[in-house]
């Protein structure tokens, strides 16, 4: 398939992209978090081709992207929730949409099994990106969009990353700028008694708790290694191999200066063995910068052909640091060494 590269400033390209989506095709587009790979969320066949293009396991549900908070009412069956939860969802959309928050609620009958991975719940978000919002509005349907990478690879935060993975596999790619946030949205389950974060992001439990005036929990699977019997993440996507660079990867955990010294020592040792070594070490407490750069750094190091990536751990005490570490440990296949 020939993939068209579209300009985000061309009205004709926007119309073309909207038509592709409305006709059941696939278009990649920028959001504030990462690039998404979009299809008509209510068209099971279109959503099926997203799984094919990504090579994604088909039980992994998609996030449905809307351009108005009101559209929630069409995608959720809100009557299935207690009044209290409905009120909280309204407060969330007022406080955080458009923005990097995905909310899980009971699905409405119009949402196909293909989109929810057969679950009785559905994930919805309104992205903070004009291109994304225009595309949803002009195609006239909510857009299901996972990250626009081949399944298992680092999420794409730059147009060139999307081209590297998706050229020839989808109808079109919007060539926008770099994503501001750099890691995917916070996924929040609003179907239970306590709002629960299933995937951490730049928007933290404290941010959400401040807005709602109630405690917000993190799914306990987020602090578990995926090999134990009691590892049962509530977001199906959290159980898959993820974000893996082509190179081997290890994480060093310890005091900043010790980690820095150990990275240099290991680099010299491994280079003597003939390996090409790359490193990722963010300044202490530069959590947002780390979120912004992490996936791009993985991709650049792969591009440079390194054999081994040595990364410095961020403090998981900070909730944004915790969100980046959630991705980093998966990229490294949980290969963490204390120094
Ligand atoms: O920032 C983002 O969220 C990006 C951009 C494109 O919007 N999208 C994204 O989609 O990261 P994806 O498909 O890569 O991740 C969706 C996550 C997966 O972990 C999936 O299992 C979870 O959300 N999820 C979706 N629907 C769910 C549901 N009904 N219940 C539990 N988890 C759900
Ligand atoms: Mg993804």
For the residues of 36-103, what is the DSSP string, one character each?
A: EEEEETT-HHHHHHHHHHHT--TTSPPEEE-SSGGGHHHHB-GGGS-HHHHHHHHHHHHHH-SSSEEE
- Tell me the per-residue pLDDT of 184-199, one tens digit each, with 9 for 90 and over: 999 999 999 999 999 9
Strands 186-189 and 196-199, sheet pairing: antiparallel
- The mean pLDDT value for 109-117 works out to 96
**Is the complex ipTM more than 0.90?**
yes
Q: Are 46 and 143 in contact (CB under 8 A)?
A: no
| φ/ψ (deg, to 5) at 44 | -60, -40
User: Per the structure block, which two tokens stand in for 232?
Assistant: 């049962």
Residue 197 pLDDT: 98
Mutate to test the pocket of ligand 1, among 63, 162, 182, 233 (most ligand atoms within 8 A of CB): 63
Residues in contact with ligand 1 by the CB-under-6-Å rule are: 31, 33-34, 36, 60-63, 102, 104, 116, 119, 121-123, 125, 127, 145-147, 184-185, 187, 198-199, 234-238
- CA 180 to chain centroid, in Å, comes to 13
- Tell me the per-residue pLDDT of 135-162, one tens digit each, with 9 for 90 and over: 999 999 999 999 999 999 999 999 999 9
Task: Point out the ligand nearest to the CA of residue 125.
Answer: 1
Structural domains of the chain, with CATH: 4-238 (3.90.870.10), 243-338 (3.40.50.11030)
Nearest CA to ligand 1 atom 33: 235
Task: Point out the ligand nearest to the CA of residue 295.
Answer: 2
Task: Point out the ligand nearest to the CA of residue 234.
Answer: 1
Q: Residue 292 C-alpha to ligand 1 middle, in angstroms? A: 19
Task: Please report how the helices 319-331 and 287-303 are oriented relative to each other, as an axis angle in degrees rounded to 10.
Answer: 20
- Tell me the per-residue pLDDT of 23-42, one tens digit each, with 9 for 90 and over: 999 999 999 999 999 999 99
Residue 240 pLDDT: 65
Q: Are 31 and 180 in contact (CB under 8 A)?
A: no
Q: Residue 56 C-alpha to ligand 2 middle, in angstroms? A: 9
């Amino acid at each position: 398939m020939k993939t068209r590269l579209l300009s985000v400033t061309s009205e004709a390209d926007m119309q073309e992209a909207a038509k592709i989506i409305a006709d059941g095709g696939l278009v990649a587009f920028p959001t504030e978090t990462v690039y998404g790979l979009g299809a008509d969320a209510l068209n099971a066949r279109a959503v099926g081709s997203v799984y094919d293009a990504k090579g994604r396991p088909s039980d992994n549900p998609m996030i449905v992207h809307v351009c108005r908070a009101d559209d929630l009412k069409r995608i959720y069956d809100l009557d299935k929730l207690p009044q209290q939860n409905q009120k909280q969802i309204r407060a969330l959309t007022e406080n955080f949409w458009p923005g990097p928050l995905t909310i899980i609620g009971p699905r409405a009958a119009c949402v196909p099994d293909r989109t929810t991975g057969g679950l009785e719940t559905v994930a919805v978000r309104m992205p903070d990106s004009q291109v994304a919002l225009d595309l949803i509005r002009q195609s006239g349907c909510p857009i299901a969009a996972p990250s626009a990478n081949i399944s298992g690879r680092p999420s794409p935060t730059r147009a060139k990353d999307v081209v590297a993975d998706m050229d020839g596999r989808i109808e079109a790619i919007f060539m926008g700028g770099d994503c501001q946030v750099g890691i995917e949205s916070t996924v929040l389950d609003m179907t239970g008694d306590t709002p629960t974060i299933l995937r951490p992001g730049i928007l933290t439990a404290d941010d959400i708790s401040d807005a709602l005036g109630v405690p917000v929990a993190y799914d306990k699977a987020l602090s578990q290694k995926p090999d134990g019997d009691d590892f049962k993440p509530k977001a199906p996507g959290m159980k898959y191999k993820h974000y893996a660079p082509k190179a081997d990867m290890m994480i060093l955990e310890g005091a900043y200066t010790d980690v820095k010294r150990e990275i240099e020592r290991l680099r010299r040792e491994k280079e003597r063995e003939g390996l090409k070594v790359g490193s990722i070490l963010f300044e202490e407490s530069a959590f947002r910068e780390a979120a912004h750069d992490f996936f791009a750094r993985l991709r650049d190091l792969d591009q440079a052909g390194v054999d081994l990536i040595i990364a410095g751990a961020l403090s998981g005490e900070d909730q944004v640091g915790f969100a980046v570490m959630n991705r980093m440990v998966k990229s490294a296949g949980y290969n963490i060494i204390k120094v």
